[in-house]
């Protein structure tokens, strides 16, 4: 066996090992979801007796869903999560896209360079460090906790740095300055140039930021649990945790609540997944 054949054989071996490892990791991630999907259509007794069976002894049932929706006040918590997630995601996209445009096109300004450096630095600060001051200041001093608006603005503030970083790379690498100069010559203002020329070209990055932030906001438990104390303002993660504490012995209801909680964001991801790779690579430096 010559050297080329040996190298090819080693390459095939590495590929096979990589595929096997990826399959194992995939199975590890998918199994919990499959268990939820299988057991959500069973009654409590069938889940307890044989959780791995596709169909329980008492057959197929949908009763877990209406029961879970009623007991966890699903439509109210869904409305709260939808409003908070949508508003925070839109504000994050708008603020970060405009900020990154100003920073990229005014790189000679020390203020822009300093602002961008502070945003990058803030990304390494753990949220847990800010929990106590957050509650003490906004709750104890200003008394503005327990409000959807407060939670929306906090979500936006905590996520705008990462989004600005992604938009900064996309604008710097993929949008030539000549397009903006041509628009200015044609009579567009800077405001019109951004919204009519630059922002439409950021569609892949917008989709990426939207799905990343929407998933983060929708699934976030810690920040809403600190801000929202009124049961009528609960988001789905808080309501699911409270529901589990009350009905932890009824596994069928818990499974239904978990599936209801993950289904909306899963649908959103399926619609936007084709833009994820394009958006992540949009800020890559071109050689």
**What's the average model confidence in pLDDT over 18-42?**
88
What's the pLDDT band for 286 if we cut at 50, 70, 90?
Answer: very low
Average pLDDT over the chain, rounded to an integer: 83
The pLDDT value given to residue 89: 94
Instruction: Answer yes or no: is pLDDT of 274 > 80.
Output: no
Higher pLDDT, 144 or 198: 198
Q: What is the pLDDT of residue 287?
A: 41
Does 283 score more than 60 pLDDT? no
228-259 pLDDT, tens digit per residue, is: 888 889 998 888 888 777 766 777 888 888 88
- Name residues whose C-beta falls within 8 Å of residue 4's C-beta, 6 or more positions apart in sequence: none
Query: What is the predicted pLDDT for the residue at 141?
Result: 74
Question: In 10 A of CB 273, how many CB atoms?
Answer: 11
Residue 21 confidence (pLDDT)? 94
Report pLDDT digits (tens) over 214-223.
889 998 988 8
Report pLDDT digits (tens) over 175-190: 888 888 888 888 888 8
Q: What are the phi and psi torsion angles at 284 (to 5°)?
A: -70, 145
Return d(Cα 106, Cα 172) in angstroms, integer: 11
- At 16 the pLDDT is 92
pLDDT value at position 275? 65
Instruction: Check residue 109 and report its DSSP letter.
Output: -
Instruction: Report residue 23's pLDDT band, with 50, 70 and 90 as the boundaries.
Output: very high
CA dihedral sign, ordered 210, 214, 261, 54: positive
Burial class (CB in 10 A: 0-12, 13-18, 19+), 124: exposed
- The answer to whether the beta carbons of residues 209 and 163 sit under 8 Å apart is yes
User: Is pLDDT at 281 greater than 70 in this prediction?
Assistant: no
Residue 159 pLDDT > 70 = yes
- The pLDDT value recorded for residue 285 is 47
- The CA-based diameter of the chain, rounded to the nearest angstrom, is 77
How far is it, in rounded angstroms, from Cα 170 to Cα 188?
A: 22
In the block, tokens 């460090």 appear at 129
């Amino acid at each position: 066996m010559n050297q080329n054949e040996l190298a090819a054989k080693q390459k095939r071996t590495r590929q096979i090992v990589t595929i096997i490892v990826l399959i194992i990791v995939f199975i590890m991630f998918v199994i919990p979801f499959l268990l939820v999907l299988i057991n959500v259509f069973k009654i409590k007794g069938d889940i307890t007796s044989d959780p791995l069976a596709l169909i329980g002894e008492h057959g197929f049932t949908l009763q877990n869903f209406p029961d879970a929706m009623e007991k966890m006040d699903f439509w109210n918590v869904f409305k709260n999560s939808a409003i908070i997630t949508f508003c925070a995601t839109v504000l994050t996209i708008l603020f970060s896209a405009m900020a990154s445009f100003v920073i990229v096109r005014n790189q000679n300004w020390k203020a822009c360079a300093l602002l961008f450096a502070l945003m990058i630095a803030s990304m390494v600060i753990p949220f847990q460090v800010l929990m106590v001051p957050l509650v003490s200041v906004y709750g104890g001093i200003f008394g503005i906790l327990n409000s959807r608006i407060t939670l929306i603005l906090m979500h936006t503030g905590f996520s705008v740095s990462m989004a600005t970083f992604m938009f900064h790379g996309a604008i710097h690498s993929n949008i030539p300055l000549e397009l903006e100069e041509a628009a200015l010559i044609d009579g567009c203002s800077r405001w019109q140039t951004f919204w009519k020329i630059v922002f439409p070209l950021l569609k892949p990055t917008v989709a990426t930021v939207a799905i990343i932030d929407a998933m983060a906001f929708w699934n976030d438990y810690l920040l809403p649990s600190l801000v929202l104390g009124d049961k009528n303002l609960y988001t789905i993660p808080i309501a699911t945790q409270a529901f589990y504490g009350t009905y932890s012995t009824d596994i069928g209801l818990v499974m239904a609540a978990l599936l209801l909680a993950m289904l909306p964001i899963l649908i959103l991801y399926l619609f936007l997944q084709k833009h994820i790779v394009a958006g992540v690579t949009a800020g890559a430096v071109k050689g």
